[in-house]
Amino acid sequence: MTGVDSPTRATGRSRAGVLARVTVAALLVLAAPAVSFLLTAGILGSGASVEFPHGYAVTLIVTVAVTAAASALGARLAGRAGLAAIRVVLAWWAIISFAVTVAGVSLGHPHLTELGIAILAAALAGLAVGLPLAARR
């Protein structure tokens, strides 16, 4: 245990390098759900026009897999510094997905509800994969 007045140990990493890795991790995790559901879901404007041309199961699996992979890659790049960034970005996705799910239920649009559930599942999978990896590094 170190005392309050003891000098800290240098990590060997510059602050700019750590900030760059955290930024890349945050951008990866931020973009992953959006890219995957834009590629697998047909969004043509309003909530009523959401479709799943390849099927809902494909959208769900791809979105969860891409988000988990991006979260793992971001955790490997950023290490412990990425804990907060990954948590904040995926919490943001969870809030958005909850709002989309509630909107789909209240408006009676089942595909919009399913899209919200897919994004929520992806955010939870990203948290489950990325946080333990980032904590170990």
Q: Does residue 99 belong to any structural domain of this protein? A: yes
Q: Give the tokens for residue 17.
A: 């390098």
Q: Say if residue 47's pLDDT is above 90.
A: no
The span from the CA of 80 to the CA of 137, in Å, is 6
Range of the domain at 39: 15-136
Q: Does residue 2 belong to any structural domain of this protein? A: no
Strand, helix or coil at 30? Answer: helix
Whether residue 37 contacts residue 63, with contact meaning beta carbons closer than 8 Å, is answered with yes
Torsion of Cα atoms, 79 then 81 then 85 then 86, to 10°: 20
Q: Does residue 54 belong to any structural domain of this protein? A: yes
What's residue 7's pLDDT?
Answer: 60
pLDDT in tens, 85-118: 889 999 999 999 999 999 999 999 888 888 899 8
Q: Mean pLDDT for the chain?
A: 83
Residue 73 banded pLDDT, cuts 50, 70, 90: very high
- Tally of domains in the chain: 1
